[in-house]
Amino acid sequence: MDKKLNIAQTSEILGISNATVRNWIRHDYLSPLNIDSELFFDHNEVATLKKDIENGKIVRLNKRANKRNSDKKFIPKEYSGNNNIDIDINNISSFVTKSSLSINEAIFFLSINLLQREDLLHYSYFDELLTFNKGLFKNKYIQVILEDFYNSIQNFSLDKKYEELLEKKIPTHNDILGLIYQSLKSEGEKAKHGSYYTPKEIVTEIISDYVKDNQKILDPCCGTGQFLLIASDSISNPRNLFGFDIDPIAVFITKINLVLKYKPIDFYPNITCKDTLLDYDSSPLFSSEEQFDLILTNPPWGLHFENGTLGTLKSLFPHIKSIESFSYFLSKSIEMLNDGGILSFILPESILNIKVHSDIRNTILKNTSIKKIKKLGRAFTNVFTNVIRIDLSKKVVEENHKLEIISDSSYFIFQNRFLSNPDLIFDIDVNDFDSSIIEKVFARSFTTLKNNAEWALGIVTGDNNKFIHTTKEGGYEEIYKGKDVNKYFLSTPNNFIKFEPEKFQQVAPEEKYRANEKLIYKFISNKLVFAYDDKQKLTLNSANILIPKIDNYPTKVVLSLLNSSLYQFIYLKKFNTIKVLRGNLEELPLPLFSKTKNSEIVNLVDKVLAKDIDANVIDNYVFELFGITFTEIEHIKNSI
Ligand SMILES: C[S@@+](CC[C@H](N)C(=O)[O-])C[C@H]1O[C@@H](n2cnc3c(N)ncnc32)[C@H](O)[C@@H]1O
């Protein structure tokens, strides 16, 4: 078996979507090997994680891993927003399930029920309905919409069992059919097609920020049309509302929703069942020159594409290397906007900072001015991901353009700042004051640990009870765990091991443990904690090893920087993770100090190690080295 897995293989093995893989990286359940811009994972790590999930060691991930196969059904609370509605919906859903009706049959008859309730359709007896006689319909296009959908349902034979659906009490909600549809679909189905519809509050806020009458508005993957429906409050001509979706039932529901909303107007809704990414240009409703003033949506995330489709997508969107569905949608939508047009998308937070999404961040920065990024937290029931809203305007960004960040507080930051960030990370948690401090450190010429260090993981024995002793017996030596690692020092040892590498489950080459000098760091920690070791000590897997190999760059200088409050601040602002990851450490700048400065620092470190001075002295010295002001120091100390 190949030791390296790509993202598709990893998601397949774990039974999750690509988006979930990315989310697990964000939460440090998985660490990518980070080769070029494509994500790769170590086969052993993935296999161990799978085992841990199956053994129930990581319970919360287990739920997620089974999602694609889950036939669980539920009403998304954030979408219904009302318990009374839920009771009526449950009543309808259980009738549909008990009567073994298919979802499209159920939706078809419930639409008729609604149209009749709204006086748009009149029939006297059940059999008359399916004659689609023009006389039954108040508006001629309703007949076309119903008849088309009816004809698309396979093996449909009229049966009295549907009659009850025509009588059922349907609760009032702006997208009641969409809600019923969601309650009938299994979680597995929803996960496969990314069909998590957006809660009304989120949509309403976007609409009220941008929608004005006479604008042409598109939702390129409209689901049951929540965005279009809420926009319709401000749009007098329904022909200005456009929608696409690959799901024929969702498209049908959107059409019915719009017809109900614009009751007095006889029109055929501009809603089409198409694959937006592949078939947009061949739609009869849209010409390829069709451009929109506003494109608003929550696109599917982490879709799993079949090989043939993927090949076409790769050739249509060569700049999207991540093969992420939301990136394809975002890229396509930017193309479809008018100059100056606005786009608002609901996306997973990982678009902001995961390396693999630098492709779409690049497309955004090249073609748009970002207006706003708002953190929405966990916005969807049963979706484990933090969500953001990002609003873009299609125009070249001006030098001093600032975008608004709304999270716990709200502030403005320069967009062009993202360009100077490796991988174009949208580090929105860093406000301009934070950024000016960080820039002071990056302003000097520096090197990094990337390709300039050796790294090793601590030993995984496979059975600590057997191998680790608490007393030092003959042939045993000290071994240190993460909790024994302090800044500069290792604690007094209380674990001992006989070094017999062939018996351990995982062990680095011995010369790494036995290096003349090395740094040992806590792996699970939101703080950078590095101890100095020149005694060739062993570590367990909660304590990792770093051996800097930079010419004329003393290991003790690296140690002083990594342990400083200033670097802790940079690490927190840039990465904010609970694991100290090699990839992140490799991005930290190691300024090229003069020889004299280096010796001064080494001198101070020696004094700390000899316990002649407190480590705070070095902390202050590091602030001084970079010209950090008193106010900035206060800010750093309050932040970390
Ligand atoms: C997350 S839902 C969002 C629906 C709606 N925009 C909303 O916010 O409520 C994503 C939608 O994308 C649709 N979809 C998935 N792949 C598609 C494709 N290739 N072309 C068009 N629609 C697609 C799904 O059917 C689903 O309705």
Which atom from ligand 1 is nearest to the alpha carbon of 275? 20
Residue 547 pairs in a beta bridge with 454
- Quick one: 453-639 is in which CATH superfamily? Adenine-n6-DNA-methyltransferase Taqi, Chain A, domain 2 (3.90.220.10)
- The one-letter amino acid code at 543 reads A
Structure tokens at 609: 């190690």
CA dihedral 253, 258, 261, 266 (to 10 degrees): -120
Mean pLDDT to the nearest integer, 497-503: 95
pLDDT band at 157 (very low <50, low <70, confident <90, very high): low
**Which of 221, 296, 309 is the pocket-test mutation for ligand 1 (most atoms within 8 Å of CB)?**
221
Ligand 1 and 247: CB distance under 6 A: yes
pLDDT band at 39 (very low <50, low <70, confident <90, very high): confident
What's the chain's average pLDDT?
88
**Candidate of 192, 219, 224, 245 to mutate for ligand 1, largest count of ligand atoms within 8 Å of Cβ:** 245
Phi and psi, residue 490, nearest 5°: -95, 145
Reported as a single tens digit per residue, the pLDDT across 287-327 is 555 689 999 999 999 888 888 899 999 999 999 999 999 99
Q: How far is the centre of ligand 1, averaged over its atoms, from the C-alpha of 9 (Å)? A: 24
DSSP 262-304: TTT-----EEEES-HHHHGGG-SS--TT--EEEEEE----S--
Q: Can you tell me the distance from the alpha carbon of 249 to that of 74, in angstroms, rounded to the nearest whole number? A: 18
The CA distance from 440 to 555, in Å, is 22
Residue 94: partners with Cβ closer than 8 Å, 6 or more residues away: none
- For the CA of 278, the nearest atom of ligand 1: 19
Nearest to residue 566, comparing CAs of 617, 628, 615, 609? 628
> How far does the chain reach from its first CA to its final CA, in angstroms?
43
Q: Tell me what the mean pLDDT of segment 266-289 comes to.
A: 77
What confidence tier does 167 reach under pLDDT thresholds 50, 70, 90? confident
194 Cβ closer than 6 Å to some ligand 1 atom: yes
At residue 244 the predicted structure's pLDDT band, cuts being 50, 70 and 90, is very high
pLDDT of 595 higher than 90: yes
Q: Are strands 292-297 and 337-348 parallel, antiparallel or unpaired?
A: parallel
Ligand 1 nearest-atom number relative to CA 226: 9
Minimal-distance CA residue to ligand 1 atom 9: 197
66: enclosing H helix or E strand: none
Q: What is the mean pLDDT of residues 59-84?
A: 62
Q: Is residue 509 pLDDT above 50, yes or no?
A: yes
pLDDT value for 199: 87
Q: pLDDT tens digit string along 187-201?
A: 777 767 777 888 889
Report how far ligand 1's centroid is from the alpha carbon of 502 (Å).
Answer: 52
State residue 381's pLDDT score: 67
7's tokens: 């993202």
Residue 380 has pLDDT above 90, yes or no: no
The 10 Å Cβ neighbour count of residue 399 is 7
Q: Which of 35, 45, 48, 168 is nearest to 99 (CA)?
A: 168
The whole-number pLDDT of residue 314 equals 93
Residue 219 Cβ contacting ligand 1 at under 6 Å: yes
Instruction: From the CA of 244, give the closest atom in ligand 1.
Output: 21
* pLDDT above 50 (res 610): yes
**pLDDT score of 153 more than 90:** no
The residues near 35 (Cβ < 8 Å, ≥ 6 apart) are 4
38 close to 321: Cβ distance less than 8 angstroms: yes
- Does 35 score more than 50 pLDDT? no
Q: How far is the CA of 222 from the centre of ligand 1 (A)?
A: 6
pLDDT digits (tens, 9 = 90+) for 198-214: 888 999 999 999 999 99
Q: In this model, does residue 403 exceed pLDDT 80? A: yes
Domain ranges of the chain: 4-67, 453-639
Q: Which of 40-49, 317-326, 340-349, 582-591 is predicted with the least confidence, judged by mean pLDDT? A: 40-49
Of all protein residues, the one whose alpha carbon is nearest to atom 2 of ligand 1 is: 195
Assign 1 a pLDDT band (cuts: 50, 70, 90).
Answer: very low
SS3 at position 490? strand
Q: Which residues pair with 343 in a beta bridge?
A: 295, 392
Q: CA 302, 308, 314, 315: dihedral to nearest 10 degrees? A: -150
Range with the largest mean pLDDT of 193-207, 267-281, 471-485: 471-485
Distance 196 CA to ligand 1 centre (A): 8
* Ligand 1 neighbourhood includes 421 CB (under 6 angstroms): no
> The tokens 């240009």 sit on which residue?
281
Question: Are 405 and 413 contacting, i.e. CB atoms less than 8 angstroms apart?
Answer: yes
Average pLDDT over residues 375-390: 84
Beta strands 518-522 and 543-548: pairing type? antiparallel
pLDDT given for residue 282 in this prediction:
54
3-class secondary-structure state, position 5: strand
> Out of 16-25, 62-71, 471-480, which region has the weakest mean confidence (pLDDT)?
62-71
In this prediction, residues 361-377 reach a mean pLDDT of 97
Check if the beta carbon of residue 211 is closer than 8 Å to that of residue 123: no
Is the distance from the beta carbon of residue 298 to the nearest atom of ligand 1 less than 6 Å? yes
In Å, the largest CA–CA distance within the chain is 98
pLDDT above 90: residue 529: yes
Query: How many angstroms separate the Cα of 353 from the Cα of each of 284, 291, 588, 608?
Result: 38, 30, 16, 36
DSSP 351-414: HHH-GGGHHHHHHHHHH-EEEEEEEEES-STT--S-EEEEEEESSPPPTT-EEEEESSSEEEEE
pTM of the model: 0.75
**More confidently predicted of 64 and 174:** 174
Domains 4-67 and 453-639 share a fold: no
* 372-381, 471-480, 608-617: segment of lowest average pLDDT: 372-381
pLDDT of res. 208: 97
Average pLDDT over residues 151-180: 82
**pLDDT at 184 > cutoff 50:** yes
Nearest-10 crossing angle of helices 140-152, 248-261: 160
Protein residue with its CA nearest to atom 17 in ligand 1: 246
User: What mean pLDDT do residues 80-85 have?
Assistant: 70
Instruction: Name the pLDDT band for 220 (thresholds 50, 70, 90).
Output: very high
- Residue with the smallest CA separation from ligand 1 atom 19 is 275
Q: Quick one: CATH architecture of 4-67?
A: Orthogonal Bundle (1.10)
Q: What is residue 627's three-state secondary structure?
A: coil
What residue owns the CA closest to ligand 1's atom 12?
Answer: 221
Backbone angles phi, psi at 197, to 5 degrees: -80, 150
Q: Among 39, 165, 171, 193, which residue's Cα sits nearest to residue 104? A: 165
- Our answer on whether the CB atom of 254 is closer than 6 Å to any ligand 1 atom is no
Asked whether 238 and 267 are in contact (CB, 8 A), the reply is yes
Q: Is 218 helix (H, G, I), strand (E, B) or coil?
A: strand
Tokens 């490796």 map to which residue? 422
Pocket of ligand 1 contains residue 424 by CB under 6 Å: no
| 227 CA to centre of ligand 1 in angstroms | 12
CA 298 to chain centre: 13
Strands 270-273 and 241-245: parallel
What value does the mean pLDDT take over residues 623-634?
Answer: 96
**pLDDT on residue 565:** 98
| CA dihedral for 625, 628, 629, 634, sign (positive or negative) | negative
* pLDDT at residue 36 is higher than 50: no
Ligand 1, residue 276: give the atom nearest the CA: 20
| 219 C-alpha to ligand 1 centroid (Å) | 9
